[in-house]
Chains A and B, each alone.
Chain A
């Protein structure tokens, strides 16, 4: 009897936590914003982990074997798509030996399929254009309209994977939408005075935000996507910025600040460090924090 109860304890200890862990969808995302959106939609039916941190350049994440271990256990991979992660994700997906998240499987969520893609090249793409994304600009997750579309896409896939929790995921999504709508009037108010603001950005990664806030992008610090600037290009950019009276230079935290500071100081434009992902700074913990911070930093230019 003693033996049986000991056995039962052991089997319970081994099986029980496992069972509850298996109830939850194990979600792995490539960036932290997608992790936050997945958490909002998945609630307590999911566990979520992001492969990269918000303060990293998502183009250049090291394909560490530890990330393959995380992917090995995933039920779902939520990724940006449009080749943003091409330098590191495909090798991890191959190495992880997990059939559930292979490209095209139900556990592979390419969020770029949910949104309206901008900057799709209309001419033949060559590498002379720099490290260009041939299928369109992948920096799309900040505008709230896109966040809703991404969250909806994630919700629908969660519902397919866990039909029993269909209502739960829908309720979670509705709650997220309501939260966004409660913030929308304030965001509208902050966005309104920004319309028409002339900006230069470091990398061509603010197209979607510019469209949302009606910013006018006049130029870019990089000569071409991924190609560092030359003195020649910077001189042209500086004279362009003076002529156009550009008031702000937008830059992600993970780029070289010294060049941007130099350009800003020579043109009178204000250097605006812009968080581009949840986790870009310690105080940006959620998608809402991210939008708040982006709007606050931009509003600082006109006040």
Chain B
């Protein structure tokens, strides 16, 4: 029985890939009793007009009813599996939650294989007024987390409201899931200023598309940020968290302005100015917590330039340059002075063949540097091959150089101050996964 079904399936598939001869003969056979209607008569029939000529009555245009799709009101379900194998001389100083975790420490080499992330996506239109998107994630074989779960209004004029748990519109990389990033690891500014998992707490967003002939969007958000878990293992480098301090009534607010300009068909420029404010939960070191409850002001600017000719016959070549800069001020508290620090990344990704991309990124933290955020530089080179739109293979090599004279680096007494790291990443996507933003 099974064999029979397989054979039948094979036969059908063969008849579908090789010529559609059978279909054609039967189609022309149906009209064999009379002369075939001329194109003009067929056009009349398609328009629903009476056909003067004799012969079989022409088939009316089917109105979809005859097609009988398998109807399912289930949401689109997708699973994205990202595996990674890697080696590093020591663990990265500022890993993000969805970076590959080789379970190493800052004092030893590590090599291993991990499931960098498993993402489950459920996406659907709710009704004529809302759509809903839910993304669950298991990063690095840890617990199941809600990466995002939000509803979006679709029918309010000019304004759109998003509510639930979602990635903040602050900057460019924060809004991206792992599988749309161009590198194996997230930029350092993510963990340094937005947190281990980026900024994706429960909140509400209102965005307004300005009534202009080009794209300008104003976004305002309010979030309830939970303080990060303070189980700071000794011998790890902890960033000073920007948000999540104070009481439960102290919300974190963000504002963003995004604009898009296409100077030509091949060139796109997307830019953003971002602002966020909240209270810092403070930095725990030993028994003391510094900067607890201090007001954080985080400013960001991001710039994305893309060159991609729309006509692939000319070339598949494309070039995308992204730069994002964060500047943070932490206000003074009763016992401590305020401080100012910042950081950036700039990356160039070149598509040099239909399925090949080469990317170079420079991360630079500590511009300016502060007592809590020393200078850290990381240079990363990534090569990506897409066998199809649904799978990808990526090789990455990076070199991390912290400021060896900074007090916070010295106290870690690293055997390798500078660290080399290399990863091989493999990713597949199954199921129906929605299209991504530009």
Complex CA distance for A90 and B308, rounded to whole angstroms: 21
In the bound complex, do residue B43 and residue A177 qualify as a contact, i.e. CB atoms below 8 Å apart?
yes
Beyond contacts A115-B61, A226-B389, A255-B313: 12 other A-B pairs, Cβ-Cβ < 8 A, are: A53-B310, A66-B260, A95-B437, A99-B157, A105-B128, A113-B63, A120-B67, A148-B43, A152-B47, A173-B47, A187-B39, A211-B23
Least Cβ–Cβ distance between B246 and chain A, in angstroms: 34
- With a cutoff of 8 Å between Cβ atoms, the chain A residues found around residue B21 in the complex are 216
In the bound complex, do residue B47 and residue A148 qualify as a contact, i.e. CB atoms below 8 Å apart?
yes
In the bound complex, do residue A227 and residue B388 qualify as a contact, i.e. CB atoms below 8 Å apart?
yes
Q: Given A69-B214, A145-B42 in contact, is the A122-B131 Cβ separation under 8 Å?
A: no
A sample of 12 inter-chain contacts (CB < 8 A) reads A64-B262, A69-B212, A95-B437, A96-B209, A97-B159, A102-B155, A103-B125, A113-B64, A122-B16, A185-B38, A210-B20, A211-B24
Q: Within the complex, which residue of B64, B354, B438 is in contact with A62, where a contact is CB–CB below 8 Å?
A: B438
> A residues 82-97 with Cβ under 8 Å of B?
86-91, 94-97
- With a cutoff of 8 Å between Cβ atoms, the chain B residues found around residue A288 in the complex are none
Q: Given A127-B430, A188-B38, A216-B19 in contact, is the A226-B12 Cβ separation under 8 Å?
A: no
Q: Given A65-B260, A90-B434 in contact, is the A55-B310 Cβ separation under 8 Å?
A: yes
Does any Cβ of B come within 8 Å of A207's Cβ? yes
- With a cutoff of 8 Å between Cβ atoms, the chain B residues found around residue A95 in the complex are 160, 437
**What 10 pairs between A and B have smallest CB-CB spacing?**
A99-B155, A65-B260, A184-B40, A65-B215, A148-B46, A184-B39, A113-B64, A91-B435, A55-B311, A149-B61
> B residues 38-72 with Cβ under 8 Å of A?
38-40, 42-49, 59, 61-64, 67, 69
- With a cutoff of 8 Å between Cβ atoms, the chain A residues found around residue B61 in the complex are 114-116, 149, 152
Q: Given A123-B9, A148-B43, A180-B43 in contact, is the A69-B435 Cβ separation under 8 Å?
A: no
In the bound complex, do residue B312 and residue A177 qualify as a contact, i.e. CB atoms below 8 Å apart?
no
- With a cutoff of 8 Å between Cβ atoms, the chain A residues found around residue B352 in the complex are none
Does any Cβ of B come within 8 Å of A162's Cβ? no
Complex CA distance for A96 and B153, rounded to whole angstroms: 11
In the bound complex, do residue A62 and residue B24 qualify as a contact, i.e. CB atoms below 8 Å apart?
no
- With a cutoff of 8 Å between Cβ atoms, the chain B residues found around residue A122 in the complex are 12, 16
Complex CA distance for A123 and B27, rounded to whole angstroms: 21
In the bound complex, do residue B438 and residue A64 qualify as a contact, i.e. CB atoms below 8 Å apart?
yes
Does any Cβ of B come within 8 Å of A289's Cβ? no
Complex CA distance for A61 and B438, rounded to whole angstroms: 11
Q: Given A99-B154, A103-B125 in contact, is the A254-B312 Cβ separation under 8 Å?
A: yes
Interface of B toward A, CB cutoff 8 Å: 9, 12-13, 16-21, 23-24, 27-28, 38-40, 42-49, 59, 61-64, 67, 69, 125, 128-129, 131, 152-160, 209, 212-215, 217, 258, 260, 262, 265, 268, 270, 308, 310-313, 354-355, 388-390, 430, 434-438
Does any Cβ of B come within 8 Å of A214's Cβ? yes
- With a cutoff of 8 Å between Cβ atoms, the chain A residues found around residue B125 in the complex are 102-103
Interface of A toward B, CB cutoff 8 Å: 53, 55-57, 60-66, 68-69, 72, 86-91, 94-99, 102-105, 113-124, 127, 129-131, 135, 144-146, 148-149, 152, 173, 177, 180-181, 184-185, 187-188, 191, 207, 210-211, 214, 216-220, 224, 226-228, 253-257
In the bound complex, do residue A87 and residue B128 qualify as a contact, i.e. CB atoms below 8 Å apart?
no
In the bound complex, do residue B388 and residue A63 qualify as a contact, i.e. CB atoms below 8 Å apart?
no
In the bound complex, do residue B438 and residue A63 qualify as a contact, i.e. CB atoms below 8 Å apart?
yes
Q: Within the complex, which residue of B18, B47, B217, B434 is in contact with A219, where a contact is CB–CB below 8 Å?
A: B18
- Across the interface, name the chain B residue whose C-beta is closest to A120: B67
Least Cβ–Cβ distance between A156 and chain B, in angstroms: 10
Give the dominant DSSP class at B's interface: loop
Least Cβ–Cβ distance between B116 and chain A, in angstroms: 22
Complex CA distance for A88 and B435, rounded to whole angstroms: 6
Least Cβ–Cβ distance between A137 and chain B, in angstroms: 10
Complex CA distance for A235 and B166, rounded to whole angstroms: 50
In the bound complex, do residue B262 and residue A66 qualify as a contact, i.e. CB atoms below 8 Å apart?
yes
Q: Given A94-B154, A145-B42 in contact, is the A123-B437 Cβ separation under 8 Å?
A: no
- With a cutoff of 8 Å between Cβ atoms, the chain B residues found around residue A96 in the complex are 209
Least Cβ–Cβ distance between A222 and chain B, in angstroms: 10
In the bound complex, do residue A91 and residue B434 qualify as a contact, i.e. CB atoms below 8 Å apart?
yes
Least Cβ–Cβ distance between B386 and chain A, in angstroms: 11
In the bound complex, do residue A207 and residue B20 qualify as a contact, i.e. CB atoms below 8 Å apart?
yes
Least Cβ–Cβ distance between B270 and chain A, in angstroms: 7
- With a cutoff of 8 Å between Cβ atoms, the chain A residues found around residue B38 in the complex are 184-185, 188
In the bound complex, do residue A135 and residue B313 qualify as a contact, i.e. CB atoms below 8 Å apart?
no
Q: Within the complex, which residue of A64, A98, A214, A254 is in contact with B28, where a contact is CB–CB below 8 Å?
A: A214
In the bound complex, do residue B434 and residue A102 qualify as a contact, i.e. CB atoms below 8 Å apart?
no
Complex CA distance for A103 and B131, rounded to whole angstroms: 11
Complex CA distance for A30 and B255, rounded to whole angstroms: 33
- With a cutoff of 8 Å between Cβ atoms, the chain A residues found around residue B437 in the complex are 63, 91, 95
Q: Given A91-B434, A207-B20 in contact, is the A226-B311 Cβ separation under 8 Å?
A: no
In the bound complex, do residue A257 and residue B215 qualify as a contact, i.e. CB atoms below 8 Å apart?
no
Q: Within the complex, which residue of A90, A148, A228, A255 is in contact with B435, where a contact is CB–CB below 8 Å?
A: A90
- With a cutoff of 8 Å between Cβ atoms, the chain A residues found around residue B49 in the complex are 177
Complex CA distance for A216 and B20, rounded to whole angstroms: 8
In the bound complex, do residue B12 and residue A123 qualify as a contact, i.e. CB atoms below 8 Å apart?
yes
Least Cβ–Cβ distance between A113 and chain B, in angstroms: 4
Q: Given A145-B43, A255-B313, A257-B313 in contact, is the A69-B215 Cβ separation under 8 Å?
A: yes
In the bound complex, do residue B13 and residue A94 qualify as a contact, i.e. CB atoms below 8 Å apart?
no
Complex CA distance for A61 and B257, rounded to whole angstroms: 25
Q: Given A55-B311, A63-B435 in contact, is the A99-B40 Cβ separation under 8 Å?
A: no
In the bound complex, do residue B388 and residue A123 qualify as a contact, i.e. CB atoms below 8 Å apart?
no
- Across the interface, name the chain A residue whose C-beta is closest to B63: A113
Least Cβ–Cβ distance between A96 and chain B, in angstroms: 8
Complex CA distance for A224 and B209, rounded to whole angstroms: 41
Complex CA distance for A89 and B436, rounded to whole angstroms: 10
In the bound complex, do residue B39 and residue A144 qualify as a contact, i.e. CB atoms below 8 Å apart?
yes
- With a cutoff of 8 Å between Cβ atoms, the chain B residues found around residue A115 in the complex are 61-62
Complex CA distance for A15 and B73, rounded to whole angstroms: 44
- Across the interface, name the chain B residue whose C-beta is closest to A56: B310
Complex CA distance for A91 and B160, rounded to whole angstroms: 14
Q: Given A66-B214, A185-B38 in contact, is the A60-B312 Cβ separation under 8 Å?
A: yes
Least Cβ–Cβ distance between A115 and chain B, in angstroms: 7
Least Cβ–Cβ distance between A136 and chain B, in angstroms: 8
- Across the interface, name the chain B residue whose C-beta is closest to A115: B61
- With a cutoff of 8 Å between Cβ atoms, the chain B residues found around residue A227 in the complex are 388
- With a cutoff of 8 Å between Cβ atoms, the chain B residues found around residue A256 in the complex are 312-313, 354
- With a cutoff of 8 Å between Cβ atoms, the chain B residues found around residue A191 in the complex are 39
Q: Within the complex, which residue of A57, A72, A94 is in contact with B131, where a contact is CB–CB below 8 Å?
A: A94
Complex CA distance for A271 and B125, rounded to whole angstroms: 44
